Amino acid sequence: MFSVLSYGRLVARAVLGGLSQTDPRAGGGGSGGGDYGLVTAGCGFGKDFRKGLLKKGACYGDDACFVARHRSADVLGVADGVGGWRDYGVDPSQFSGTLMRTCERLVKEGRFVPSNPIGILTTSYCELLQNKVPLLGSSTACIVVLDRTSHRLHTANLGDSGFLVVRGGEVVHRSDEQQHYFNTPFQLSIAPPEAEGVVLSDSPDAADSTSFDVQLGDIILTATDGLFDNMPDYMILQELKKLKNSNYESIQQTARSIAEQAHELAYDPNYMSPFAQFACDNGLNVRGGKPDDITVLLSIVAEYTD
């Protein structure tokens, strides 16, 4: 079965698809406005959930995610553990899950700067490297930070997880996918000493970092590649049209609908998925969806109340 997560204590006065009258920019009056926050719901599927294997916590298969709040910002992230480690007796979800839990703790402790999401990733990764209990594995990572006061969205994306910002039914901002070569994304790694220099490992500083001004009612979708490999933008936008208001239940329902559709398409052998198209572009004869873990965090920018 799928799992659903919900987060937040916000008074959501945003109007989807545009600015609300409570936003000073909507009527040309006022300056600065109040603080912004995110109303967020999450949903996901583990690739092998049909076998009844569900993980505890905010993990779907080898994927992991977190949503954390601090007085200065709302922060969320997703990570996708590299499944190839399973061939060496390593549980890939341990790395991604520990990375996201460390990020969450740093945010809750206030040990971050909202404008520097790469810093969250760097500090978390360094803690993993210094862990007294050996931790092996690799993971992609995407961190999204909404600065409450400046109304700016700061992001860091390493690999092929990512995010979309949707306004008025159109994608107005998005992450760039990072691949070394086909199906080999940038990734953070910790390898045993004898494998150092052999296992692919990127620095957190290699993450693509962006900043973007958001508006009330903007929709932010953050997800692992299990979503983007199976659903093109136009399908995602069609599902987002069903989101008619910004209450928790509506966001949860839409997040679940998106995750369910991606999961169904992943197992359709006749579907020309974005992953299959990318494979064909790289000279491979591939058709069908891509069975994978899927994690979706769906957020709406709203007025924040403590």
Q: What is the mean pLDDT of each run of 10 residues along the chain (306 residues)?
A: 46 36 31 83 83 55 96 98 93 96 98 98 97 91 98 98 98 97 96 84 97 98 98 98 90 96 96 96 95 97 88
Check: CB of residue 288 under 8 Å from CB of residue 275: no
Taking alpha carbons only, the member of 79, 99, 98, 206 closest to residue 141 is: 79
- Rg for the chain, CA atoms, rounded: 19
Residue 183, CA distances (Å) to 4, 79, 125, 284, 290 in order: 28, 16, 23, 12, 11
* pLDDT value for 5: 55
* pLDDT value for 29: 30
* pLDDT value for 1: 38
Q: Which residues 6+ apart lie within 8 Å of 11 measured at CB?
A: 302, 303, 304, 305
H-type helices in the chain, by residue range?
A: 24-27, 92-108, 117-129, 225-228, 233-240, 248-266, 274-281
H-type helices in 4-116, by residue range?
A: 24-27, 92-108
d(CA 82, CA 95): 9
Domain map (residue ranges) of the chain: 36-223+244-254+293-303
Most distant pair of Cα atoms in the chain: their distance? 63
* pLDDT value for 159: 98
* pLDDT value for 52: 36
Q: Which uninterrupted H or E stretch holds 158? A: strand 152-158
d(CA 138, CA 222): 20
Residue 100, CA distances (Å) to 75, 226, 296 in order: 11, 17, 15
* pLDDT value for 300: 98
d(CA 196, CA 250): 47
d(CA 77, CA 183): 21
CATH class of 36-223+244-254+293-303: alpha beta
